């Protein structure tokens, strides 16, 4: 067995889980990065993934892999940089445990991130928020689910990963109504619910009739909605909202847009930016 396989396993168990207490989303993203990298390296070197060694994953191969992400997989520079950050994290770990590969490791760590253009974040105005929520077809079960899901996001600003992971037990509708989330870095918080959102969630959860550990916003089969599925539902709703609100069609609306909308609502209401 080469040194790469046990080192990669130890990186996940000791470094990510044991030392950094990385979130499931971070672990999943790193796992995807290394699955893609090892698959590419296997084709590049003609070596089975289980037989690859640290020396095989050199700076030349990593640079070719990053180019492959952009030219073949059509990943954005931001995604490319995220993959590179995961590789850098692994190689920084390897540097402590395999000084015999110091030269290879140093050259990989020297690969720079690509400069990216930071796009101006947009947000929805109140008429656009109303149009989006009204575009949810509340004559259907999925439409009522989407309406509650988007209303909650717009009011609380939860991340899409937090939204997808919400269970029925995370919502408190009695005195001090709030939603409980665990965000980046396993930061735990409870966000108060305004009466309107509380009423929407109360109606939804009565219909949902799920147990405390069941997904708050499930698929039609009762499983947890994926982030891709949530974004797809939002895109479909935005298209319908454009029929009565043309301005929403001029914006690229994602779940992060709804999160930014929640922040802008708080700012425009006079809340301090540091609190937001």
Mean pLDDT in consecutive groups of 10 residues from the start of the chain, 276 residues:
91 92 86 96 94 95 96 92 96 94 96 79 92 95 97 94 93 93 78 95 95 95 92 96 93 93 84 65
Round to whole Å and give the CA distance between 38 and 43. Answer: 9
What distance in Å separates the CA atoms of residue 162 and residue 176, rounded to the nearest whole number?
20
Sequence-ordered list of residues with C-beta below 8 angstroms from that of 121, at least 6 positions apart, any chain: 256, 257, 260
Here the tokens at position 74 are: 């059509």
What does the pLDDT look like over 148-159, one tens digit per residue? Answer: 999 999 999 999
Q: What is the pLDDT of residue 262?
A: 93
In this prediction, residue 189 carries a pLDDT of: 86
Q: What phi and psi values does residue 190 have, to the nearest 5 degrees?
A: -120, 120
Distance of CA 254 to the CA centre of its chain: 12
Q: pLDDT digits over 39-76, tens only? A: 999 999 999 999 999 999 999 999 999 999 999 999 98
Given a contact cutoff of 8 angstroms between Cβ atoms, the answer to whether 271 and 164 are in contact is no
pLDDT at position 121? 74
CA 138 – CA 203 distance, rounded (Å): 12
Report pLDDT for 255: 94
Which residue do the tokens 């599925």 mark? 229
CB 115 within 8 A of CB 126: no
Q: What is the pLDDT of residue 117?
A: 66
CA pseudo-torsion sign 70, 161, 185, 265: positive
């Amino acid at each position: 067995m080469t040194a790469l396989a046990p080192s990669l396993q130890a990186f996940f168990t000791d470094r990510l889980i044991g030392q950094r207490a990385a979130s499931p989303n971070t672990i999943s993203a790193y796992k995807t990065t290394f699955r893609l990298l090892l698959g590419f390296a296997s084709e590049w070197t003609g070596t089975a993934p289980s037989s690859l060694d640290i020396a095989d994953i050199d700076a030349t191969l990593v640079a070719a892999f990053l180019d492959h992400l952009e030219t073949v997989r059509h990943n954005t520079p931001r995604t490319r940089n995220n993959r590179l950050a995961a590789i850098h994290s692994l190689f920084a770990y390897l540097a402590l445990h395999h000084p015999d590969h110091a030269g290879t490791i140093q050259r990989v760590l020297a690969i720079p991130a690509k400069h990216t253009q930071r796009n101006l974040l947009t947000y929805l105005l109140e008429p656009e928020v109303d149009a989006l929520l009204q575009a949810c077809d509340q004559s259907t079960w999925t439409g009522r689910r989407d309406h509650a899901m988007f209303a909650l996001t717009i009011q609380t600003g939860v991340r899409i990963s937090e939204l997808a992971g919400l269970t029925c037990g995370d919502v408190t509708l009695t005195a001090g109504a709030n939603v409980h989330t665990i965000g980046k870095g396993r930061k735990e918080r409870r966000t108060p619910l305004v009466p309107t959102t509380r009423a929407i969630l109360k109606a939804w959860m009565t219909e949902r009739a799920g147990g405390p550990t069941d997904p708050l916003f499930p698929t039609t089969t009762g499983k947890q909605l994926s982030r891709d599925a949530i974004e797809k539902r939002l895109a479909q709703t935005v298209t319908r909202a454009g029929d009565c609100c043309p301005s929403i069609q001029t914006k690229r609306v994602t779940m992060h847009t709804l999160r930014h909308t929640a922040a802008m609502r708080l700012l425009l209401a006079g809340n301090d930016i540091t609190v937001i």
